[in-house]
Amino acid sequence: MRQPFKVVLVDDHVLIRTGISAIVQSFHNYEVLFEASSGKEMIDRIEPGNLPDLVLMDVNMPEMDGYSATGWLTRHFPGVKTLALSMFDTENSIIRMFKAGVKGYVMKYSEPAELRAAMDALVQKGCYYSELVTGRLVHTIKKYDDDESAGNPLSELNDREIEFLKFACTELTYKEIAKQMYLSPRTIDGYRDSLFEKLSTKSRVGLVTFAIRNGIAVT
C-alpha cells in the first residue's frame, strides 16, 4: 500500500493554516509534513531527504511571499508540486504565481471538495486548472489572439522596447527598471505608454501576457 502523500502548508495566518491542516489530514492518502508561516520558514525547515509531494502555498506573506518561495522550490526541488491557495483572484496574482512555478491555483473560500480535487490532480496529472484560473487567463489573453489574426504587433517593437518588456516581467518597479536600463524614469514611462498603445493594453499584466505568449519574457 502506498504511503500517504506528504503535504507542507505555508500560510502566515495561524487560524487559516490550522483549519486547512485539519481538512488535509481528513483526506485519505494525505498527511501534513509540517506547517510554515512564511516562505523563509519553509526553506529553513525543508529537508532534501524528506521532501513533500505537495506544497500548499499562500501568496501574500511576510519575510518571503508566495512568488519568491514558489520560485525557490521550482529551482531547487522541481519535483515538488506547488498549489497556490489565495484570497487574490486577479490576473496579476495568477500569472505571477504560474510564472513562479505553481501547478494549480485555488481560492481559500473554495469547498474542501475542490481542494481535494486540485491536490489529486497535481499528484496524479501534475497540474490543475480551475474554471476561475481558466476564465481569468482567457479573458486576459483573448485580445492578443484577436491581434494575431490581424498581424502580430511584435514586429513593430524596437530593441529597447523589447528589453523593457523583459524587465517588466520581473519584480522590478518602473523606477528600478530605469536604473537597470540606464535611462530616466520619464523615458521608461514613455516606453511603457508607447507599448500600451502598440499592444492595445492598459496594464502591466497585459505587457507580461504579451511577452509570455511571444517567448520574450525573462524566466
163 and 105, same structural domain? no
The helix (H) or strand (E) run that includes residue 176 is helix 174-180
Task: Cell numbers for 178, please give them.
Answer: 530605469
Instruction: Indicate whether 197 pLDDT > 80.
Output: yes
- 105 and 24 in a common domain: yes
Query: What is the rounded CA–CA span in Å between residue 26 and residue 113?
Result: 11
Residues 163 and 126 in one domain: no
**Count of CA atoms in the C-beta half-sphere (13 A) of 32:** 17
Same domain for 51 and 82: yes
210, three cell numbers: 504579451
Regarding whether 9 and 106 lie in a shared domain, the answer is yes
Q: Report if residue 219 sits inside a domain.
A: no
Residue 37 or residue 140, greater confidence: 37
Write down the pLDDT at residue 109.
87
- 39-89 pLDDT tens trace: 999 999 999 999 999 999 999 888 899 999 999 999 999 999 999 998 877
For β-strands 5-10 and 30-36, DSSP reports them as: parallel
CA 1 and chain centroid, separation: 34
- Looking at residue 116, which CATH number applies to its domain? 3.40.50.2300
Does 81 map to a domain?
Answer: yes
Domain of residue 114, residue span? 5-130
Q: Look at residue 200 in the predicted model and tell me its pLDDT.
A: 84
**What's the pLDDT at 219?**
45
Compute the chain's Rg from CA coordinates: 19
On whether residue 84 sits in a domain, the answer given is: yes
Do both 116 and 159 map to the same domain?
no
Same domain, residue pair 84 and 33: yes
Q: Are both 76 and 172 inside the same structural domain?
A: no
The answer as to whether 161 is a domain residue is: yes
The pLDDT tens digits for 85-143 are 988 777 778 888 888 889 999 988 889 999 999 999 999 999 887 776 766 665 555 55
> Do 17 and 120 fall into the same domain?
yes
SS3 label, residue 70: helix
What is the Cβ-side half-sphere exposure of residue 35, based on CA atoms within 13 angstroms? 15
Domain count, the chain: 2
170's grid cell? 520581473
Question: Same domain for 17 and 103?
Answer: yes
